[in-house]
Amino acid sequence: MGATPVFALDETVEGLKLDYQEWEPGGDPYASRALITPQFMRLDYGVDGEGFILFDREAGMVYSVQVEDQRILEVAALADDAAGIGEPPIPLVLAQSSEADDNAPSLGGRQPVITEFTVNDELCQQTVSIAGLLPEAVSAWREFALLMAAQRATTLHNTPPEFWQACSLANEIYAPTRYLQQGLPIRAY
């Protein structure tokens, strides 16, 4: 008596692997990676046996998988009528300025661009980006950021107003994709 496989293990999937190095102020650097296909994006620390975030792009679902605890947190995209984030609870004046990074080498004939993003005249984020670099990755990051922004907006009322910060509100809810406007960041801080 034999078993018939339901799937073939020798199938290959085309995708992108992006390796990042991250660090918090005063901390040691650590690895993180993004694996991106047309259907999925997986975010992890570069180790397969540890926890990860899986974004099912087709289903509009995010799964936060905690291997050690054997738990999975599911975050679903909101229905179209509930996805409107609305107005921010405090004034947010968004601005940005960009200039070519003449000290960096060009890539594919394109010069990296340094962009500073401000909210209410406070510097919130700075990126070094290359226009047209890996548009598939830009699309995946944009989809993920918009889904998470809509979810964060639904729980904003749980945060006392005295803890609202203009940069966080802009970056995480009200303008979560503006850091992608110049292309895929090769550095963000």
Beta pairing class for 113-119 and 94-100: antiparallel
Distance between CA atoms of 23 and 188, rounded to whole angstroms?
11
Give pLDDT tens digits along the chain (189 positions).
444 444 455 567 789 999 988 888 888 888 999 999 999 999 999 887 889 999 999 999 999 999 888 899 898 887 554 456 888 999 999 999 999 998 888 888 899 999 999 999 999 999 999 999 999 999 999 999 999 999 999 889 898 999 999 999 999 999 999 999 999 998 888
- The total of other beta-carbon atoms located within 10 Å of residue 12's CB is 5
Whole-Å CA distances, 167 to 25, 66, 89, 95, 163: 17, 29, 13, 11, 12
Eight-state DSSP code of residue 77:
P
Residue reference for tokens 């601005």: 95
Core vs surface per residue 42-60: b (16+ CB within 10 A) or e: bbbeeeeeeebbbbebeeb
Of the candidates 46, 29, 22, the one whose C-alpha atom is nearest the C-alpha of residue 188 is 22
